[in-house]
């Protein structure tokens, strides 16, 4: 992503006043006035480097250290140097900071703020805009750490302006500059300074910003707290996210993830049930629940004690999910599930070796149930095949799933002894390239 510069046209405003500003230097008759007059001429002639040398030399003299006008002129000169296209970005950053310091020293030594009042406080705005633009340029250069420093200083200058209650006709500054804060957060993230990034993101969430484009800020913070296992702050940001962006499903996802990591399946399923009761038509929520159940049931060597109960639950959840599915994923998952159910019932029946009437009855019942599940599975397999055949093209992954579904049908029709159907399906499977 590229950041956009602020690009305030403050230089023009300042330059229009330069004649008046430096004319004030003629009011004195002492050596100071003469020195400032000479520096002013260098500045007006745009000989900024020479002007810098002169003002630095002037202020290096301890007797001039508390001279308000000198500090003002230093601010003007350094700001102009920072704005030059030929000035390296790192140097421009330092110039802006020194200009900021210089203007503050001017106010320190001039209780009446004569110079800055004439400028209507625009020099501070110029520094803010300059640092903002510099941060954007550094970000676009992928110099993220420097970008962060520039944005942070821009915020510092902006906060100074707000504290002073300076107002401008060119722009209205707000107590929370969301764009600038967000830029600082992104630059911090790119600089691998996650804690600092979160500090900036939190400024936005603390202000309860509600614009749609800021939903990701709340999500980033939620993910951060989840990874840090900070349950208190996580709960707070999830509550705020739900309140401000109630239709966004992310809050449920992160909360379910947190519960899942605890390893308490009963708690997890209960939470899914509660959420689905509130949002029965949310496909993703239903599908994710089905995936959780499926993975729990069919994890090799770790079948749950309540397997039969969970299988029935999965069937119900999948039926609800299929009704909401605009694609085929839920139907395919149902074919996997029912194929496994039928196979498990068949295997259980095969393992009964007894010859007592009750053994034979149990074996027959399991076979009957297996056949019923096969017929259910065949119906869902056919639905899936119809969907795949209707697509203008299929991705490689979709073709693989398609073949797998046909494979289920081949196995089941083989059990039924329908060799003709098996041959037909094998031909169809082989035709999928």
Encode pLDDT of 75-101 as tens digits: 999 999 999 999 999 999 999 999 999
Residue 296 lies in a domain: yes
Tokens representing residue 35 in the block: 């020195």
| Whole-angstrom distance, CA of residue 382 vs CA of residue 417 | 18
* More confidently predicted of 320 and 12: 320
Q: What is the percent of the chain where pLDDT is above 90?
A: 84
Residue 251 lies in a domain: no
Q: Please tell me the predicted confidence (pLDDT) of residue 11.
A: 40
Query: Could you tell me which residues come within 8 angstroms of residue 410 by beta carbon, excluding any fewer than 6 positions away?
Result: 422, 425, 426, 429
Q: Please tell me the predicted confidence (pLDDT) of residue 22.
A: 40
Do residues 224 and 194 make contact, with C-beta atoms less than 8 angstroms apart?
A: yes
Across 305-316, average pLDDT: 95
Tokens representing residue 228 in the block: 């840090």
Q: Please tell me the predicted confidence (pLDDT) of residue 30.
A: 53
| Whole-angstrom distance, CA of residue 221 vs CA of residue 231 | 12
Q: Where does the pLDDT of residue 25 fall: very low under 50, low under 70, confident under 90, or very high at 90 and above?
A: very low
Percentages (nearest 5) of helix, strand, coil residues in the chain: 75, 0, 25
| Whole-angstrom distance, CA of residue 294 vs CA of residue 226 | 25
First-last CA distance in the chain: 39
Q: Please tell me the predicted confidence (pLDDT) of residue 19.
A: 36
Across 162-190, average pLDDT: 94
Short-list 325, 334, 369, CA closest to 348: 369
Residue 314 lies in a domain: yes
Residue 42 reports pLDDT greater than 60 = yes
Do residues 249 and 258 make contact, with C-beta atoms less than 8 angstroms apart?
A: no
Q: Where does the pLDDT of residue 315 fall: very low under 50, low under 70, confident under 90, or very high at 90 and above?
A: very high
- Alpha helices for 228-262 (secondary structure H): 231-244, 250-262
| Whole-angstrom distance, CA of residue 289 vs CA of residue 297 | 12
Residue 18 reports pLDDT greater than 60 = no
Do residues 178 and 214 make contact, with C-beta atoms less than 8 angstroms apart?
A: yes
Tokens representing residue 120 in the block: 């209507």
pLDDT in tens, 396-430: 999 999 999 999 999 999 999 999 999 999 999 99
Domain span at 309: 263-321
3-state secondary structure of 303: coil
| Whole-angstrom distance, CA of residue 432 vs CA of residue 275 | 40
Under DSSP, the state recorded for 5 is: P
Q: Which residue has the tokens 């004649």?
A: 19
Q: Please tell me the predicted confidence (pLDDT) of residue 60.
A: 95
Do residues 132 and 151 make contact, with C-beta atoms less than 8 angstroms apart?
A: yes
3-state secondary structure of 141: coil
Tokens representing residue 135 in the block: 């941060």
pTM: 0.75
Residue 272 lies in a domain: yes
Across 180-196, average pLDDT: 97
Q: Which residue has the tokens 């300042």?
A: 14
pLDDT in tens, 334-354: 999 999 999 999 999 989 888
Q: Where does the pLDDT of residue 8 fall: very low under 50, low under 70, confident under 90, or very high at 90 and above?
A: low
Q: Please tell me the predicted confidence (pLDDT) of residue 3.
A: 62
3-state secondary structure of 404: helix
Chain-wide mean pLDDT for the chain?
Answer: 91
Containing 336, the helix (H) or strand (E) segment is helix 329-350
Q: Where does the pLDDT of residue 432 fall: very low under 50, low under 70, confident under 90, or very high at 90 and above?
A: very high
Q: What DSSP assignment string belongs to 345-399?
A: HHHHHHT----SHHHHHHHHHHHHHHHHHHHHHHHHHHHHHHHHHHSS---HHHH
Across 8-23, average pLDDT: 40
Do residues 267 and 259 make contact, with C-beta atoms less than 8 angstroms apart?
A: yes
Tokens representing residue 187 in the block: 């630059």
Q: Please tell me the predicted confidence (pLDDT) of residue 28.
A: 41
Q: Please tell me the predicted confidence (pLDDT) of residue 15.
A: 34
Tokens representing residue 177 in the block: 């500059």
Residue 282 lies in a domain: yes
pLDDT in tens, 145-155: 999 999 999 99
Q: Where does the pLDDT of residue 303 fall: very low under 50, low under 70, confident under 90, or very high at 90 and above?
A: confident
Do residues 22 and 44 make contact, with C-beta atoms less than 8 angstroms apart?
A: yes
Q: In this predicted structure, which of 215-219, 240-244, 299-303, 316-320 has the lowest mean pLDDT?
A: 299-303
Longest alpha-carbon distance in the chain: 126
Across 360-371, average pLDDT: 93
Q: Where does the pLDDT of residue 17 fall: very low under 50, low under 70, confident under 90, or very high at 90 and above?
A: very low
Length of the chain in terms of residues written: 433
Residue 317 lies in a domain: yes
| Whole-angstrom distance, CA of residue 52 vs CA of residue 62 | 17
Residue 40 reports pLDDT greater than 90 = no
How many domains are contained in the chain?
1
Residue 372 lies in a domain: no
Across 319-337, average pLDDT: 97
Q: Please tell me the predicted confidence (pLDDT) of residue 5.
A: 57
Query: Could you tell me which residues come within 8 angstroms of residue 320 by beta carbon, excluding any fewer than 6 positions away?
Result: 276, 280, 286
Residue 233 lies in a domain: no
Across 217-246, average pLDDT: 95
* More confidently predicted of 41 and 188: 188
Short-list 375, 397, 430, CA closest to 328: 397
């Amino acid at each position: 992503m590229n950041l956009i510069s602020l690009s305030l046209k403050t230089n023009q405003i300042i330059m229009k006043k330069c004649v008046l500003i430096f004319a004030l230097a003629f009011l004195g008759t002492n050596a100071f006035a003469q020195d400032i007059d000479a520096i002013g001429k260098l500045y007006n002639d745009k000989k900024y480097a020479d002007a810098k040398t002169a003002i630095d030399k002037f202020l290096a003299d301890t007797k001039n250290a508390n001279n308000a006008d000198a500090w003002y002129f230093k601010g003007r000169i350094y700001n102009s140097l920072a704005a030059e296209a030929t000035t390296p970005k790192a140097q421009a950053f330092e110039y802006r900071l020194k200009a900021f310091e210089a203007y503050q020293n001017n106010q320190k030594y001039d209780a009446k703020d004569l110079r800055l009042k004439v400028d209507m406080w625009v020099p501070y705005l110029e520094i803010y805009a300059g640092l903002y633009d510099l941060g954007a340029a550094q970000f676009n250069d992928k110099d993220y750490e420097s970008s962060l420093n520039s944005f942070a200083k821009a915020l510092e200058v902006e906060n100074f302006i707000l504290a002073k209650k300076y107002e401008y006709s060119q722009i209205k500054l707000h107590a929370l500059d969301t764009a600038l804060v967000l830029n600082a957060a992104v630059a911090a993230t790119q600089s691998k300074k996650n804690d600092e990034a979160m500090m900036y993101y939190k400024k936005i969430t603390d202000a309860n910003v509600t614009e749609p484009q800021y939903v990701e800020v709340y999500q980033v913070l939620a993910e951060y707290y989840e990874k840090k296992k900070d349950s208190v702050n996580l709960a707070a940001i999830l509550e705020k996210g739900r309140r401000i962006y109630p239709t966004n499903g992310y809050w449920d996802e992160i909360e379910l993830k947190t519960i899942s990591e605890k390893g308490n399946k009963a708690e997890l399923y209960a939470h899914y049930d509660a959420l689905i009761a509130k949002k029965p038509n949310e496909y993703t929520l239903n599908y994710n629940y089905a995936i959780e159940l499926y993975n729990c049931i069919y994890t090799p060597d770790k079948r749950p004690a309540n397997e039969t109960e969970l299988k029935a639950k999965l069937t119900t959840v999948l039926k609800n999910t299929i009704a909401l599915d605009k694609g085929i994923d839920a139907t395919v998952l149902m074919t996997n599930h029912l194929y496994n159910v039928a196979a498990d019932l068949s295997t259980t029946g095969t393992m009964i070796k007894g010859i007592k009437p009750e053994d034979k009855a149990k074996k027959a019942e399991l076979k009957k149930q297996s056949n019923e599940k096969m017929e259910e599975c065949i119906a869902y397999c056919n639905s899936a095949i119809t969907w795949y055949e209707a697509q203008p093209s299929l991705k490689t992954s979709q073709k693989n799933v398609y073949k797998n579904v046909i494979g289920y049908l081949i196995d089941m029709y083989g059990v039924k002894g329908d060799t003709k159907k098996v041959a037909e399906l094998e031909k169809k499977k082989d035709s999928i390239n």
